[in-house]
Structure 1
Amino acid sequence: MAPIGKALAHARMARDLTQTELARRAGISRQALGAIESGAYHPGVAIAIRLARELGTSVEALFGEPDGEASSLVEASWFDDARRRAAPPQTRVALARVHGKVVAVARPAAHLTLAPAAGVVQRARRHRVDVCTFRLPGEIDSTLLMSGCDPAVTLLVDWLARRGSPVHAVAIPCSSRKALRALVDGRAHVAGVHLRDQKSGEYNLAPIRRALGNRRSMVVNFARWELGLATAPGNPLAIRGFADLARPGLRIVNREDGSGARSALDQALGELGIEPERLAGYQFEAGGHLEVAAAIAAGLADAGVTIRLGADAYGLHFVPHRDERYDLVFMEDEAGSMPIKAMLDALKSRRFAHEIAQLCGYDTAQMGQVIGA
């Protein structure tokens, strides 16, 4: 996080305000506030004054001169120049130096890829397999298995590779509860969780305690994000909230039982007194946040619960519901292992926090902080 954003984020957190709350008070979007806090955007005078007023401080205290931690501007040749197609603002790109010049190549926000593999299964028996592997023992020992539903884990994989880390992270896409089961069973190093305790309203700690029992663990924050309803671009059906999902003819795409998105949907329906069976598509399940967005973009559903990142990746309309905290939990006795240490080093990097905030629109002010043990 750039220093200019760090001062703003600290002032906001000191007053126990979420990004959504402060943005509403200041009359700007949460995404704009996230961009300011990440250092990707410098506010104009009017916005700076409103933010300072809402936080009870001065503009000078919030917005100083940025230092070398801020991102730099690089002039590059646009890869699609031959097609005479200009790059839309905010297009994600890869950068490389080719024959002495920097080239920018557009990158999709989400796409299917052929995943690299460490080997192939030769024989399977119940919960064990024999694998013909191409990896050395040291390479296997330095692989980090991360279970959970955050699409941004791919950015951590990229971060470690760019830093020349010997650790390679592998994402295991699954629901929060399935991630916790994998952690308990010793099938993953890390579980990513966003589960709200209905009684206390607190995130993650109670579900983690129930899943792990007396096992000693550490919980660190990754980010906060917005959960809500994604709809077709332009919101042609004028969906304003969960009550609209019960309209005749409206189709939803759901997440699997045990996911934070499914839990949020069920809680909202319960509060509204709507039986889940009334919703067309309630049994139509997608495996992750991006998959929900992809189903809507393909016209297979009219709406679904996902995070803003998923909606933005597919150009969908987004109806915010609530801010959520996404935490990472691992066993305490693994804290000194090479894979976990590499992950924690990344989470403590202000540059990595800035990158996640800028590319994903997450609130990374607490990234790397210990939430519980």
Structure 2
Amino acid sequence: MASIGNAVGRARMARNLTQTELARRAGISRQALGAIESGVYHPGVAIAIRLARELGESVEELFGESGDEPSIVVGAGWFQNEPARRIGPQSRVALARVRGKVVAVPQPAAHLTLAPAAGVLQRAKRSGADIATFQSFNEIDSTILMAGCDPAVAILTDWLARRRSPVHAVALPCSSRAALQALVNEHAHVAGVHLRDQKSGEYNLAPIRRALGRRRSLVVNFARWELGLAAAPGNPLAIRSFADLGRPGLRIVNREDGSGARLALDEALGMLGIQRDRVKGYDLEVGGHLEVAAAIAAGMADAGVTIRLGADAYGLHFIPHQDERYDLVIIEQEAESAPIKAMLDALNSRRFAREISQLCAYDTSQMGQVVSI
């Protein structure tokens, strides 16, 4: 705790701020700030975010864990039930101890599974529904609904479970625009967004303001990732850029309107002067980055816009197009709720950031940093 207070104090003095001035800017008492700097008091999420904003630091830098251990290398028995050519360095594995020995089992990067459920629909009504559930209200209250298109929600769910957190993250797969609408309609706690404003080139803030209106929100960075074109392994059609999508006979798979991938495609086609009706498969829509990659891997299309994670998960060729910022939007009044605090705690863990970076090839150097408040 003292190291956290030292970080706050050092950042304050580096900016030539007195305790009184910083406390006033952050909307807390000077005594509270003194307690934070002395290590006696650990602030809540909202206060931590305000202090980080005033000091020009990320929440992670001020309040993150300092004793995170790096990943370690362990020797393990190797169970391989697939051809060796399909398993290589950086392949994902599950680890367990069997009869005293650690065993590693190859795991697919993405695959179809039977999803767990909280209940079953009994009757749908005009403005609600009756659900039969075995969950308690405590379990329902500990669930965080995250709307967006990032497949890494599965890793967050695993992270929380491994730390025996009562909070469980549930993904609501949808486009960035639909995620913002779910937040406005009070159907989700968090909206994940990667929408580039064509006029300014800035990511997310303008679309968020348009969608939320006067609602106060927190915008927190999750990661940066590469968006580009995925093609069949080995790139047999020699696809090099969006300009190739106008070739006769080349088929694409598309994302739905309102997604960041669709926006990037439309912007690129517009700049190249390629009419949409010239692109075969433009109307073939799927609902996520992994779905785009799966369609290409299955031979349904020759190319599609997705993130590098999607291409890597299915062993596809990837042509980078642009670096994007993926942010999480939270209605401010929810910031102190247990599910949101658990998520923000994860985002401010260096160990979690390293895990996401390694498993997803994301840039997590700004994970947890407040983009806007």
Q: TM-score, normalised by structure 1?
A: 0.80
1:272 corresponds in structure 2 to: 272
Cα shift at 1:82: 11
1:262 alignment counterpart: 262
Mapping 1:1-373, distance limit 5 Å: 69-80=69-80, 87-373=87-373
In structure 2, C-alpha distance between the alignment counterparts of 1:276 and 1:154, rounded to whole Å: 34
Query: Gapped runs of 5+ residues in structure 2?
Result: 1-66
Deviations 1:265-320 (A, max 9, x none): 00001111111111000000011000000000001000000000000100100010
Q: Distance in 2 between matches of 1:85 and 1:273?
A: 42
For the 8 Å contact 1:80–1:86, the answer to whether it is kept is no
Do the aligned partners of residues 330 and 278 (structure 1) sit closer, same or farther apart at CA in structure 2, a change above 3 Å counting? same
Contact 2:252 2:282 in 1 (8 A): yes
Q: 1:216 to 1:233 in 2, by over 3 A?
A: same
Q: Distance in 2 between matches of 1:201 and 1:114?
A: 40
Counterpart amino acid of residue 292 in structure 2: V
For the pair shown, the structure with the greater C-alpha radius of gyration is 2
User: Residue type matched to 1:102 in 2?
Assistant: V
Distance in 1, Cα, partners of 2:340 & 2:85: 43
Distance in 2 between residues matched to 1:94 and 1:226, nearest whole Å: 27
2-side partners of 1:310 and 1:247: how far apart? 24
Q: Which amino acid aligns with 1:187?
A: H
Structure 1: give runs of 5+ residues left out of the alignment: 1-66
Alpha-carbon distance change, 281 to 83 in structure 1, aligned in 2, over 3 angstroms: closer
* Structure 2: distance between partners of 1:258 and 1:83: 40
- Which residue of structure 2 lines up, in the alignment, with residue 37 of structure 1? none
1:43 counterpart residue number: none
2:81 and 2:266 map into 1 onto residues whose CA distance is 48
8 Å CA contact retained: 1:335, 1:341: yes
Please state how far the C-alpha of 1:85 moved relative to its aligned partner: 8.9
C-alpha deviation, 1:69, in angstroms: 2.5
Give the aligned residue type for 2:121: V
Distance 1:80 1:107 in 2: 10
Measured on the aligned residues, the alpha-carbon RMSD in Å equals: 1.6
CA distance in 2, matches of 1:126, 1:313: 40
Superposition deviation, residue 102 in structure 1: 1.0
Q: Is the 8 A contact 1:227 1:320 kept in 2?
A: yes
**Structure 1's 78 and 222: CA in aligned 2 closer, same or farther, altered over 3 A?**
same
**Percent same amino acid among aligned pairs?**
76
Amino acid at match of 1:190: V
| 233-242 or 76-85, which deviates more | 76-85
Other structure's SS at 2:80 match: helix
Number of residue equivalences: 307
Q: Does the C-alpha gap of structure 1 residues 249 and 132 become closer, same or farther in structure 2, counting only changes over 3 Å? A: same
Over 3 Å counting, the alpha-carbon distance change for 1:70 and 1:112 in structure 2 is: same
Deviation at 1:354, TM superposition (A): 0.2
Secondary structure at the aligned position of 1:80 is classed as: coil
TM-score (norm 2): 0.80
| Maintained 8 Å contact 2:184/2:211 | yes
Q: 1: CA distance between counterparts of 2:97 and 2:85?
A: 21
The code of the aligned residue for 1:179 comes to A
